[in-house]
Amino acid sequence: MQSILITGAASGIGAASARIFQARGWRVGLLDMNGEALQRLASELGEAWWRVLDVTDAQAVRDAVGDFADSCDGRLRLLFNCAGVLRFGRFEDIPLEDHGRLLAINVQGLLNCCHAAYPFLKATPGAQVLNMGSASGLYGVPEMATYSASKFAVRGLTEALELEWRKHGIRVADLMPPFVRTPMVTGQSYEPPVLRRLGMRLGAEDIAEAAWRQANSGGVHRPIGALFKALYWSGQVSPPALNRWVMAWLSRD
């Protein structure tokens, strides 16, 4: 049986992905800090494997990944690094500790999971790591500066590991959606201009379907949504100054 381990699985994109993969015959492992929501989801899915986990705790990550892999005969077909946090606001108005927490979860947490999963991925034919990237990893977004920086890191790590781990038969890719209707976005107390202009055209289920397609296909970056796909591909050929102008225009007050 194919196996997937999902971080940030208790709600939003993680939960939607768990439902899709489980419904299509995969063994699903769920990791999240929200134990109550995690237990509800596991029960909904028929007592799926789950564990309360802080992805910034490297030893706890090693233990959880190892235990799930052991329940799958030492193999792991897909690691979906979906855990992440977001904070809108002007850089100087956000407490420094909040900037640090965002980087710890979005970047260090992902590193912890990839490092812990490596031996089990290597032992699994067709194994893959799927990272939760973002449209904000294409060009830095005002009033999302640290989140955007974290997604640049995710993009760079994805590209590097895709090349480095290719010799081990491990594919590495990321999903790059724009704003998605999830509690992480809708629960914010402030809405930056770029969000007001672009809106939220995608739901968690749209991203989960993209995760399913990526798990069964190649490629490194998967931009999601017609508008962002157009921006992404135009950004690959347009001068950096033009990309900067577009972002400045979208982010104007």
Q: Supply the residues annotated as catalytic.
A: 147
Task: Give the whole-angstrom CA distance, residue 60 versus residue 54.
Answer: 7
What's the token pair of residue 21?
A: 């993969």
Among 1, 10, 3, 98, residue whose Cα is nearest residue 54: 10
Instruction: Decide if 82 contacts 129 (C-beta within 8 A).
Output: no
Say if CB 109 and CB 7 are below 8 A apart: yes
What count of Cα atoms within 13 Å lies in the side-chain half-sphere of residue 227? 10
- What are 105's two structure tokens? 């979860």
Whole-number Å distance between alpha carbons of 179 and 205: 13
